[in-house]
Amino acid sequence: MLCIGALPFVNNARASEFTYNAQARIQSAYLWRGLYAGGANIQASANVGYYGVYVDMWWNIGVTDWRFRQFQPEVDLSLGFQRWGLNVYALYIHNFNCGFFDFTNYQDRGNRLELDLSYTISDKIPLTISWATRVAAADGYWNEQGEWVRAYSSYAQISYTQALRDGFSVYGAIGITPWKGVYNPKGAALQNIEIRLRKDWTVDDRCGLMLQGQLSVNPFALTDVILPNIAFGVYLK
């Protein structure tokens, strides 16, 4: 399996000091915060942490729509701190239509930089509240005077995961955008209502498989109000 032999140096440190995980999945669609971001895709990620400080790299290779005429590669890099239920991180999103760390592209698919914050109450009460604000590059709009306005587009979400029997779990989320920006060009709105049903299979004590169905509803979307997605993946824990 893909899980064998990954990051063997983990044995050099106690689990409380050093953490790692990795996953890969095949999906029928790329859905993100109530937005349709692309068609069928392969996504993978790897995360390494030490005393709560972590680095995460995430990849996406997929098509822009169901016509399979154009591919859309993406790489996201995160640097953050996670402990006591708190997760604070900077997220850099690179879409390959401009140079790395080039923030001069104001088009919708240019590079982006976010500052994100989330808090999960506990393992027994897995209620998570999160906030994300875009601080650089592809973010903003032209006002009526023809001036470019930085939007600081933001997204807030509350989510909950409930474990069920036999490896099943259900996830629900409600997201909003508090003001005009890339999520909604008209202003504050209920951005999405999302539900996922997931089934996990344990391969060994470090590796598992998952099958997930997702449905996202965006009440204020101009197109694609209801967005479905099916994913199958493998993960290392």
pLDDT tens profile 24-63: 999 999 988 988 888 899 999 999 999 999 999 999 998 8
Q: 196-217, pLDDT tens digit by residue? A: 999 999 998 889 999 999 999 9
What range does the domain containing 196 cover?
A: 24-236
Structural domain contains residue 13: no
Structural domain contains residue 189: yes
Structural domain contains residue 228: yes
For the domain that residue 175 is a member of, what is the CATH number?
A: 2.40.160.40
Structural domain contains residue 186: yes
Structural domain contains residue 14: no
The total domain count for the chain is 1
In angstroms, the Cα distances linking 22 to 2, 48, 59, 211 are 10, 9, 11, 16
Q: Is 52 left (phi over 0), alpha (psi -120 to 50) or beta?
A: left
Q: 129-178, pLDDT tens digit by residue? A: 999 999 887 788 778 888 878 889 999 999 999 999 999 999 999 999 99
Predicted TM-score of the model (pTM):
0.85
First to last CA, the chain: 14
